[in-house]
Amino acid sequence: MTTTTLFPGLPADIAGLMTAAMFCEFGTISQQGVPIDTPLFCFADPTSRTIDVGTGLAYPAKAERARRNPKVGILLEAGPDLPVISIGALATVRDANIQANADRYISEVIAYFAAFSAGNPWSVAREAVWYWARIFMHATPKKILWWRTPAEMDRPPERWDAPASFVYPPSDPAPKAAPSSPPSWPKRDWRERAQELLAQKMTGHLTLIDDEGYPLPIRVHANELVSDGFALTLPAGVPWRVQGKGSLCFAGVATFIGDVSAETHGARFKVERMLPDLPLVLDPREIWNPNPTVRANLVGRLEQELSRRALPLPVIPREPPAPTSGSIMRAKLMERIQEEMAMRDSPA
């Protein structure tokens, strides 16, 4: 088994998958102590010890949570025959230079822009400054847990702990002015939304805070609607206690908040409420061509957040930049995984 110099003692294939991952489930902790998961693009550099994610400056709640409590959780899943990696990390929030963040974010995702552009050309997409203006969160691992494949998740994971020599930089100073308030996005009856999700055979990610204080997401095997919430079937090898405040996130399109208790074959999730629907997630076309109300809310909040930082509106290039090497690598890995899965699912 070979290991890496960036993460001494960590198997090289686990470190390599961390570098190649395109998506992650990203857990943060609210001011009320609730762990909240959000699916995000993620970017790692082979020369860096961090896994980086970005959130829009026009919807900065995740970054505000990470600045207040830097303990975050990351879940990486890449395919049925590849490892599942759970990471407890400390986050460093970078929002002092929004122009640099926008430039980097564009170059990190441009290799697979066509996959989420809703068919829009760059000439249209570049106008969506509310999307490209970004806050970055750099997550430096404190511990890494992994299972070799999803099928092995009924057994305890392997574990790596960061050496004492690791450095965890502080976040940029928080702006002195009060943060902007989120818009009043629409809310729906949670039971109605849950029925729709289960009719689509969607399974969620349950996020709980472990004994070390990290908000760790994990995919549930199955979920069933019950009178007060969900009955969840979980991997038996999950090493943290199944209890306390939690969130149940369905691919970002719906997130439920509630109380979790262990049951014989999994957990009971008693729903307290559902987070408001973010229009950009419910309908990706709204990212590039939002309706007037959504556009006004996004632009207004973006301007407030820039004003808090005494920063100008970032300039989005007229022509897309060259993709980073990492962006190209992630796109190729995703193509390979999708091809393998298509072959697996095709008739013999």
Say whether pTM exceeds 0.75: yes
Amino acid (1-letter code) at residue 163: P
Neighbours of 315 (CB within 10 A): 12
pLDDT class of 64 with cuts at 50, 70, 90: very high
pLDDT greater than 60 at residue 47: yes
pLDDT class of 245 with cuts at 50, 70, 90: very high
pLDDT greater than 50 at residue 70: yes
Give yes or no for a contact between 254 and 240, defined as CB atoms under 8 angstroms apart: no
Encode pLDDT of 190-204 as tens digits. Answer: 999 999 999 999 989
From the list 255, 263, 207, 188, the residue with the least C-alpha distance to 231 is 263
> In whole angstroms, what is the distance from residue 151 CA to residue 240 CA?
19
Rounded to 5°, the CA angle 220-226-231 comes to 25
Domain ranges, ordered by start, for the chain = 12-165+179-328
> In whole angstroms, what is the distance from residue 113 CA to residue 125 CA?
10
For residue 252, give both structure tokens.
Answer: 């970002």
Region 226-237: mean pLDDT is 95
> In whole angstroms, what is the distance from residue 77 CA to residue 167 CA?
26
> In whole angstroms, what is the distance from residue 30 CA to residue 215 CA?
10
Region 303-307: mean pLDDT is 97
pLDDT greater than 90 at residue 342: no
Region 55-78: mean pLDDT is 96
Encode pLDDT of 16-32 as tens digits. Answer: 899 889 999 999 999 99
Q: What percent of the chain has pLDDT over 90?
A: 78
Architecture (CATH level 2) of domain 12-165+179-328 = Roll (2.30)
Q: What percent of the chain has pLDDT over 70?
A: 95
Encode pLDDT of 79-126 as tens digits. Answer: 888 999 999 999 999 999 999 999 999 999 999 898 899 999 999 999
Amino acid (1-letter code) at residue 286: E
pLDDT greater than 70 at residue 325: yes
pLDDT greater than 70 at residue 340: no
The pLDDT assigned to 341 comes to 54
* SS3 (DSSP) at 200: coil
Give pairs for 218-224: CB < 8 Å, separation 24+.
218/75, 218/86, 219/75, 219/77, 219/84, 219/150, 220/248, 220/266, 221/266, 223/198, 223/248, 224/198
> In whole angstroms, what is the distance from residue 158 CA to residue 234 CA?
18
Residue ranges of E strands in the chain = 23-29, 35-44, 51-56, 71-77, 84-94, 134-147, 158-161, 205-209, 215-219, 222-226, 229-233, 244-250, 254-263, 266-274
pLDDT class of 348 with cuts at 50, 70, 90: very low
Region 280-292: mean pLDDT is 91
Give yes or no for a contact between 72 and 28, defined as CB atoms under 8 angstroms apart: yes
List residues bridging with 224 in a β-sheet. 231
pLDDT greater than 90 at residue 324: no
